[in-house]
Amino acid sequence: MAVETRDTHGTGTLPQIKGVKDVPYDELFVSGHRTCQGCESALVMRHMVKASGPRTIVLGSTGCMYVANTTYYTTPWVVPWMHTQLGASGSAALGTAAGLKVLMRKGKIKDEKINVIAFCGDGGGADMGIGAISATLTHKEYNSLILLYDNESYANTDIQLSSQTPYGAVTTFSPSGTAKRLMHTRWKKNMPGMMAAGHPESRYIAAGCAAYAVDLMNKIRKALEIGGPTFVHTLDPCPKGWDYHPQYSQELGHLAVETGIWPLYEVMDGVCNLTGPTRQIAEGRKKRKPVYEYLKRQGRFAHFLDEDVEHFQATVDKMWTEWLIPGVIPFTVPAKDQAILKIDKKPLHEAQKTA
Ligand SMILES: Cc1ncc(C[n+]2csc(CCOP(=O)(O)OP(=O)(O)O)c2C)c(N)n1
Ligand code: SF4
Ligand SMILES: [Mg+2]
């Protein structure tokens, strides 16, 4: 079933995938890249074009997914691909979408649906390029998807701290030392929640993870079918930056979601829908795992003492117990205002608390 569309953009050519048997066989991101073993960002690229299909133009800002994917004379991209400047994914998406529209209107190229996807890393998207992404999300007349692949550092230039680096993590800019155990004490910026809350005319904004491949591919398809500018943010375990054996990438993606650190959701036409295990946790059908299960698996948190883990856990608990929408919208509403704001704050399911 195709996503219902308001305008003529959705062609129904990207139906929702019901299960793995439904996943397209064709690979449009193949061999010829030099990403690290176990790189989940590379898997995001593969799933992204698998979901979008061959009538897609991919634009990519500087970072691992540019550099490691387009080493001289080799490339894994089967679809047309273009590099854009580190902070320019938003501008590249908008410019390309507008250019295609004009060429089609003037009859210079066939009038057909062409998917425009611009990807960026967390450094290029959540830090440097956030202004251009925000602007693009307000231009509702142009169809494009911005995909932010978040490996939680400026990985390509040797793992520098970004606004997406988690609290306390070691990076080359935040080494743990004897004088200061934690060099980085800021909480991760809530990028997908901010994009959703701040751009009501963008019809589709989602948070995903390649460890939940079908969920992610369906989010990409919805974003491309619905029309207008859309945004998908993925959390991508990175063996090099997070310091773990490459065989555990998928497992860490699962743990990020199961601990409630990275909630999976989509906001479609202003309606927020929790997906995958995040929904199961919110409905009380699954217990949230303690964050320690996730942190202890990664060398970047090896210096954590009990008090650091406790702080991390308490902050994630707050996301689940006090935020207006768990993990999505960080407002708390005082009891005296719940009635006038028409908010029915039900008591938390037992299972929503940690195991
Ligand atoms: C304007 C500008 N500043 C700095 C750089 C150097 N540079 C290239 S890739 C990169 C890291 C980008 O990090 P991110 O967007 O998170 O992508 P990742 O490398 O993690 O995949 C940097 C700083 C650049 N190419 N352009
Ligand atoms: S450093 Fe991380 S994001 Fe970059 S190629 Fe290696 S695993 Fe992938
Ligand atoms: Mg990065």
pLDDT tens track, the chain, 355 positions: 444 433 445 677 899 999 999 999 999 999 989 999 999 999 999 999 999 999 999 999 999 999 999 888 889 999 999 999 999 999 999 999 999 999 999 999 999 999 999 999 999 999 999 999 999 999 999 999 999 999 999 999 999 999 999 999 999 999 999 999 999 999 999 999 999 999 999 999 999 999 999 999 999 999 999 999 999 999 999 999 999 999 999 999 999 999 999 999 999 999 999 999 999 999 999 999 999 999 999 999 999 999 999 999 999 999 999 898 888 999 888 889 888 988 876 667 776 777 6
Question: What pLDDT is attached to residue 9?
Answer: 53
CA distances from 153 to 72, 161, 165, 166, 209 (A): 25, 5, 6, 9, 16
Pocket test residue of 29, 33, 34, 35 for ligand 2, highest count of atoms within 8 A of CB: 35
Do the Cβ atoms of 86 and 123 come closer than 8 Å?
Answer: yes
**pTM for the model:** 0.95
Pocket lining: 62 vs ligand 1, CB cutoff 6 Å: yes
- Give the separation between CA 277 and CA 283, rounded to whole angstroms: 10
Query: Is residue 172 within 6 Å of ligand 1 at its C-beta?
Result: no
pLDDT, position 5: 39
Distance 4 CA to ligand 3 centre (A): 33
Q: Pocket of ligand 2, candidates 33, 34, 36, 46: which has the most ligand atoms within 8 Å of its Cβ, to mutate?
A: 36
CA-closest residue to ligand 2 atom 5 = 35
- Report pLDDT for 333: 83
- Give the model confidence (pLDDT) of 187-232 as tens digits: 999 999 999 999 999 999 999 999 999 999 999 999 999 999 999 9
Is residue 242 in contact with ligand 1, taking CB distance under 6 Å? Answer: no
Q: What is the per-residue pLDDT for 355?
A: 66
What's the 261 CA to ligand 1 centre distance in angstroms?
Answer: 25
From CA 108, how far away is CA 299, in angstroms rounded?
54
CB-based contact 63:124 (threshold 8 Å): yes
The predicted structure's pLDDT at residue 347: 65
Is the distance from CB of 153 to CB of 160 less than 8 angstroms? Answer: yes
- CA 173 – ligand 1 centroid, Å: 14
Residue to probe by mutation, ligand 1, list 150, 154, 171, most atoms within 8 Å of CB: 154
Q: Which atom of ligand 1 is nearest to the CA of 125?
A: 15
Ligand nearest to the CA of 173: 1
Closest ligand to residue 68's CA: 2
Q: How far is the centre of ligand 2, averaged over its atoms, from the C-alpha of 351 (Å)?
A: 35
Choose one of 86, 120, 189, 240 to mutate for the ligand 1 pocket test, by most ligand atoms within 8 angstroms of C-beta. 86
Pairing of strands 229-235, 204-208: parallel
DSSP string over 135-186: HHTT-TTS-EEEEEEE-SSBTTTT-B--TTSPTT---TTS---SS-S-S--P
Please answer whether residues 30 and 3 qualify as being in contact, where contact means their C-beta atoms are separated by less than 8 angstroms. Answer: no
The bound ligand whose nearest atom lies closest to the alpha carbon of 63 is: 1
Whether the CB of 65 sits within 6 Å of ligand 1: yes
pLDDT of res. 71: 83
**Number of residues that this document lists for the chain:** 355
Q: Which of 187, 305, 295 has the alpha carbon at shortest distance from 243?
A: 295
164, 126 in Cβ contact below 8 A? Answer: yes
Cβ within 8 Å of residue 351, ≥6 positions away = 281, 284, 285, 286, 287, 288
68 lines ligand 1 (CB under 6 A): no
What pLDDT, on the 0 to 100 scale, is given for residue 351? 67
